């Protein structure tokens, strides 16, 4: 358990920025901008539904790169798993977010922020399942540091 002002402040500030981006995105589109939903609609490529979502996602990539560039402490990146595991996990995240209708931002930030029972339930469930998954992987595999 490691918790200190130097790690909590960036986390909190980052969270506030995510919340502001979500709020402005929601106001300018009329839709809660959950990232998995944006991706799915871009992939579906229905007319008139792609451009604004692509603009938001491009902004997101640019915002991340800006921080990596000018706040190097945030650029730390420690891959945990083999590329095979990443590929399998990617497919699971893709299927799961579409069947379940949201991800950390869609169910978590947007859903809970809007006071949605579905968002709240989904978030509790995927957090619990992810924690259990990490627990099992550590116990069985013991591969991660």
* Residues 19-78 contacting another protein, CB under 8 A: 19-37, 39-41, 43-44, 51-52, 55-68, 71, 74-78
Interaction of residue 143 with another protein, rule CB under 8 A: no
The one-character DSSP state at 73 is G
- Choosing from 45, 47, 48, 79, the residue that interacts with another protein (CB under 8 A) is 79
Q: How far apart are CA 91 and CA 99, in angstroms?
A: 12
Residues 103-132 that bind another protein (CB under 8 A): 103-105, 107-119, 121-123, 125-132
Q: How far is the CB of 48 from another protein (least distance, A)?
A: 13
CB contact set of 60 (below 8 Å; sequence gap of 6+): 21, 35
Q: Nearest approach, Cβ of 46 to another protein (angstroms)?
A: 11
């Amino acid at each position: 358990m490691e918790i200190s002002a130097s790690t909590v402040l960036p986390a909190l500030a980052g969270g506030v920025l995510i919340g502001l981006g979500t709020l402005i995105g929601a106001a300018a589109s009329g839709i809660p901008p959950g990232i998995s939903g944006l991706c799915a609609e871009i992939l579906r490529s229905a007319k008139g539904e792609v451009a604004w979502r692509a603009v938001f996602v491009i902004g997101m990539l640019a915002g991340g790169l800006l921080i990596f560039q000018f706040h190097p402490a945030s650029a730390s990146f420690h891959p945990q798993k083999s590329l095979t595991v990443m590929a399998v996990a990617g497919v699971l995240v893709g299927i799961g977010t579409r069947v379940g209708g949201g991800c950390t931002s869609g169910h978590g930030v947007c859903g809970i922020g809007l006071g949605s029972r579905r968002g709240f339930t989904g978030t509790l469930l995927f957090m619990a399942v992810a924690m259990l998954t990490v627990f099992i992987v550590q116990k069985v595999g013991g591969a991660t540091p």
